Amino acid sequence: MKSRNLKVIITVLVLSLVLGLGGGLVYQVQAEEYIVGTSADWPPFELVDENGNIVGFDADVMRAIAMVKGYDVKIRDMSFDALIPALKAGKVDIVAAGLTITDERDKVIDYTNPYWDANQGVLVRKDSDLNAVTALSTGHKVGAQRGTTQAGWLQDNLVDEGVDVQLKLYDTNDLAIMDLKNGRIDSFMADTPAARTFNSLNPGLKMVGIVMTGEHLGFAVQEGDPEGLLPKLDDGLAELRVRGIYDNLKEAYFGATSDLDRITDCFAKCRDYLEKEEDPAAYAMNLRTCMAGEDE
Ligand code: ARG
């Protein structure tokens, strides 16, 4: 009888060990998944490539941080002014969209450490006589995307100060650029790197100046960080900097030689480093080389 009892005990022990291990494995496989909200009409921060993939600096930084910190991300595209309401409502967990850190926004959401500095570039048509000062003065039509700091700056510093400009707000940058090219507005403002990119992607436009607003961009989470994401994002960002991943992604998307027309090809060529090999360092390095055209 005794030995039978022992057998039962051993069987139970072995079983619970196997089940316990199994449970542990299942637990490890199901990594946490977070939804990242973005506004993918802001190259080079975020854009949709010709195959429908959301790419760009913010998107890749989000994927790389998730990889080094061991969670999954799903990137969801929406209009810029829907992002903060979506975050507040818990429909997205993180916002990565070139978001300027402002006191007003800081009251309703929380930010990571700044990851980028930007000012506001002023675009006009190539054949226009306007400069950055005259473009933003009486009698002119100025455009910006709804809900952005550009829209806020134009409202606060021109409209509210009695400057007789007509401010047109757009849901997407593509519509604004089209109106600028067609003469329905005289100028358009966007974060400097995006304005430079719109300039290089649209030969009919030129950038005539920069309004020095001195903005710092951060990633955002819900007020009070209920999911404990800020430490993951800040530590992850620091790790990307130390490992050179941040710099390679920065050069790939913002570098002097980077040509966003190449992004569809380069992402297609490099995505396996990220998705199959799960090696964000190799991805960033190869993307940089490809975007600079040095792999040909
Ligand atoms: N920095 C501006 C703001 O926070 C524009 C943000 C949109 N930029 C972007 N990359 N999606 O209002």
Q: How far apart are CA 88 and CA 231, in angstroms?
A: 19
How far away, in angstroms, is 61 Cα from ligand 1 center? 16
Instruction: Give the residue extent of every domain in the chain.
Output: 33-115+218-291, 119-215
Q: Specify whether the CB–CB gap between 235 and 133 falls below 8 A.
A: no
On the question of pLDDT at 38 being above 90, the answer is: yes
Q: What is the pLDDT of residues 139-179, one digit of tens each?
A: 999 999 999 999 999 999 999 999 999 999 999 999 999 99
Q: Give dist(CA 8, CA 174) in Å, integer.
A: 71
Question: Can you give the pLDDT at residue 107?
Answer: 96
Confidence category of residue 15, pLDDT binned at 50, 70, 90: very low
Mean pLDDT of 96-124: 98
pLDDT for 111 equals 98
33-115+218-291 and 119-215 have identical folds: yes
What integer pLDDT is reported at residue 4 of this predicted model?
A: 53
pLDDT tens digits, one per residue of 233-265: 999 999 999 999 999 999 999 998 888 999 999
Q: Which ligand 1 atom is nearest residue 190's CA? A: 5
- Across-strand partners of 123? 188, 207
Contact 111, 218 (CB under 8 A): yes
* Distance from Cα 138 to the centre of ligand 1, integer Å: 26
Q: Which residues contact 7 (CB under 8 A, 6 or more apart)?
A: none
Residue 218 C-alpha from the chain's centroid:
9
Q: Is 173 in the pocket of ligand 1 (CB under 6 A)?
A: no
d(CA 219, CA 46): 13
Q: Residue 7: pLDDT above 80?
A: no
Specify the residue for token string 């309401």.
Answer: 85
pLDDT in the model for residue 258: 82
If we measure between CA atoms, which residue out of 215, 274, 276 comes closest to residue 245?
274
pLDDT at 31: 80
Q: 31-35, 150-154, 214-218: which has the minimum mean pLDDT? A: 31-35
DSSP code per residue over the chain:
-HHHHHHHHHHHHHHHHHHHHHHHHHHHHS--EEEEEE--EETTTEEE-TTS-EESHHHHHHHHHHHHHT-EEEEEE--HHHHHHHHHTTS-SEE-S--B--HHHHTTEEE-S--EEEEEEEEEETT----HHHHTSTT-EEEEETTSHHHHHHHHHTGGGT---EEEEESSHHHHHHHHHHTSSSEEEEEHHHHHHHHHH-TTEEEEEEEEEEEEE--EEETT-TT--HHHHHHHHHHHHHTTHHHHHHHHHHSTT--GGGHHHHHHHHHHHHHTS--HHHHHHHHHHHHTTTT-
pLDDT the model gives residue 257: 81
Average per-residue pLDDT for the chain = 92
Q: Is 191 in the pocket of ligand 1 (CB under 6 A)?
A: yes
Q: 119-215: what fold?
A: D-Maltodextrin-Binding Protein; domain 2 (3.40.190)
Which residues have a Cβ under 8 Å from the Cβ of 222 and sit 6 or more positions away? 87, 88, 90, 93, 109, 110
Phi, psi of 100, rounded to the nearest 5 degrees:
-70, 140
Strands ordered across the beta sheet of 166-170: 166-170, 141-145, 187-191, 116-125, 205-217
- The predicted pLDDT at position 296 comes to 62
Indicate if the pLDDT at residue 1 is higher than 50: no
**Distance (Å, whole) CA 135 – CA 201:** 21
* Arithmetic mean of pLDDT, 69-76: 97
Distance from CA of residue 293 to its chain's centroid? 24
Distances (CA, A) of 100 to 2, 14, 256: 72, 56, 23
Q: What percent of the chain has pLDDT over 70?
A: 90
Give residue 99 CA to ligand 1 midpoint distance, Å: 5
- Best residue among 100, 105, 117 to mutate for probing ligand 1, ranked by most atoms within 8 Å of CB: 100
| CA–centroid distance, residue 15 to ligand 1 (Å) | 55
What fold, for 33-115+218-291?
D-Maltodextrin-Binding Protein; domain 2 (3.40.190)
Regarding the beta carbon of 99 and ligand 1, being less than 6 Å apart is answered yes
